[in-house]
């Protein structure tokens, strides 16, 4: 045993450091194991999978991932009977504990944003004009704004963005603003867009990557 008080303090310090290191690596091992479940639908490079309808999630902000996973778990998102794609995601979220949600969200957020394929071709100039409404919450580069609960849209799969705009408009997502305050905010916004305007605005968002 070390004799001096200083030597004891050093020993205690290294034991504490070792403990926190091992709990850190436990969290990232757990994050990796949980992420393996996500990959089967969201794509093995995290790039999204259109056939399954699962969008890119890698590199989304941790706060947004947590919010959405909790909403899926509680049925605030994907509670609507017509939310076919949301229903594929909901059982996964329900199987996660609150602790799992925090761990996997930190893991996913720390992964680099992958490049996504563009699949939508609209009129970019018209889209830019429509996008001026979105700037207030999503930012000029569609980078998102945590204070307003608005996620980044740049770098997302265009087919996924289109589906969400249609879901908001049809009240399939955010249809109950008493339970989903942030989702409810997209209601009026999406109602003002017809199919053509949605394609154009998403084409413009593609250019912001």
Contact residues for ligand HEC (CB under 6 A)?
Answer: 34, 37-38, 40-42, 52-55, 57, 65, 67-69, 85-86, 88-89, 92, 104, 108, 130, 133-134, 136-138, 148-151, 153, 156, 161, 163-165, 174, 182-183, 185-186, 189, 201
Quote the longest CA-to-CA distance of the chain: 78
Least distance between ligand HEC and beta carbon 144 (Å): 9
Report, in Å, the least distance between residue 149 CB and ligand HEC: 4
Nearer to ligand HEC, 25 or 165 (CB): 165
| Shortest Cβ 23–ligand HEC spacing (Å) | 21
> Which CB, 114 or 149, lies closer to ligand HEC?
149
Angle ∠(16,21,22) on CA atoms, nearest 5 = 100
The distance of closest approach from Cβ of residue 207 to ligand HEC in the complex, given in angstroms and rounded to an integer, is 13
The number of residues in the chain equals 209
- Rounded to an integer, what distance in angstroms lies between the CA atom of residue 151 and that of residue 31? 22
CA distances from 77 to 15, 84, 105, 107 (A): 44, 11, 17, 22
Closer by beta carbon to ligand HEC, 2 or else 91: 91
Nearer to ligand HEC, 134 or 199 (CB): 134
Indicate the DSSP class of residue 145: B
In whole angstroms, what is the distance from residue 5 CA to residue 65 CA?
Answer: 46
150 secondary structure, DSSP code: B
Q: How far is CA 4 from the centre of its chain?
A: 52
Q: Min. distance of Cβ 192 from ligand HEC in angstroms?
A: 8
Q: Which is nearer to ligand HEC, 10 or 148 (CB)?
A: 148
């Amino acid at each position: 045993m070390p004799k001096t008080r200083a030597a004891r303090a050093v020993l205690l310090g290294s034991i504490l450091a070792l403990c926190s290191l091992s709990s850190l690596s436990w969290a990232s091992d757990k994050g990796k194991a949980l992420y393996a479940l996500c990959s089967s639908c969201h794509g093995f490079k995290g790039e999204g999978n259109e056939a399954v309808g699962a969008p890119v999630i890698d590199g989304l902000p941790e706060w947004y991932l947590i919010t959405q996973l909790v909403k899926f778990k509680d049925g605030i998102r994907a509670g609507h009977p017509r939310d076919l794609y949301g229903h594929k995601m909901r059982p996964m979220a329900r199987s996660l504990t609150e602790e799992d949600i925090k761990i996997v969200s930190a893991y996913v957020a720390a992964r680099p944003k992958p490049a996504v394929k563009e699949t939508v071709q609209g009129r970019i100039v018209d889209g830019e004009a429509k996008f001026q409404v979105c700037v207030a919450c999503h930012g000029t580069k569609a980078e998102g704004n945590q204070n307003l609960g608005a996620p980044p849209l740049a770098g997302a799969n265009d087919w996924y963005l289109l589906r969400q705009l249609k879901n908001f408009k049809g009240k399939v997502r955010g249809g109950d603003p008493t339970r989903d305050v942030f989702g409810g905010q997209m209601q009026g916004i999406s109602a003002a867009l017809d199919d053509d305007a949605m394609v154009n605005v998403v084409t413009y968002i593609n250019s912001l990557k």
